[in-house]
């Protein structure tokens, strides 16, 4: 694996770890104010998926017999996805989380990308699950993991929708 690939993957993993810290702080803040967690049964599968994703990218890259050259188009797509990710986190502020947590008596946030798309972060993750492996020449990972992500979203989005709909009843 080329040095740029190691640096890139360490930065991405570091970013994800920082996001988990932000999510955990936001979770504590929301639960201290009466936040209710929903859909926790499937959350572990997202952790497994994302952990296996990085392992798969690494292993598939190691099986490559030819040198992978840096692809500027995929990198620009990745960079745009990161800007959109930050926009999502910033727009939701203390309400952004990797878990489904709703806070009673708080209106649904409809600013930033949420003004245009109901679940923008899931689109961003799908883009990343395709683009990151493509940068590393991990073509099978680029096919398999977005599909697995979509399958998990078939559980996650309805659970999130039910939780958000319950806000109007609280």
Is residue 109 helix, strand or coil?
Answer: coil
Q: Is the pTM of this model over 0.85?
A: yes
- Listed by start position, the domains of the chain span 3-169
CATH for 3-169? 1.20.120.1630
By three-state DSSP, how is residue 52 classified? helix
Residues 13-43: b if buried by 16+ CB within 10 A, e if exposed: eeeeeeeeeebeebbebbeeeebeeebeeeb
Contact 42, 105 (CB under 8 A): no
CA distance 68 to 43: 34
* pLDDT tens sequence for the chain (170 residues): 778 888 999 999 999 999 999 999 999 999 999 999 998 899 999 999 999 999 999 999 999 888 888 899 999 999 999 999 999 999 999 999 999 999 988 888 899 999 999 999 999 999 999 999 999 999 999 999 999 999 999 999 999 999 988 875 55
């Amino acid at each position: 694996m080329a040095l740029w690939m190691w640096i890139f993957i360490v930065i991405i993993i570091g970013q994800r770890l920082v996001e988990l810290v932000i999510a955990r702080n936001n979770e504590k803040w929301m639960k201290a104010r009466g936040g209710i967690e929903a859909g926790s049964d499937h959350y572990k599968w997202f952790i497994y998926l994302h952990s296996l994703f990085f392992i798969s990218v690494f292993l598939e890259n190691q099986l490559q017999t030819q040198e992978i050259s840096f692809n500027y188009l995929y990198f620009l797509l990745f960079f745009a996805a990161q800007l959109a990710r930050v926009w999502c986190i910033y727009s939701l502020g203390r309400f952004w989380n990797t878990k489904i947590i709703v806070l009673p008596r708080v209106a649904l946030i409809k600013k930033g990308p949420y003004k245009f798309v109901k679940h923008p972060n899931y689109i961003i993750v799908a883009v990343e699950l395709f683009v990151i492996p493509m940068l590393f020449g991990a073509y099978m990972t680029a096919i398999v993991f977005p599909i697995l992500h979509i399958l998990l979203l078939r559980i996650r989005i309805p659970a999130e929708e039910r939780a958000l709909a319950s806000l109007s009843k609280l």
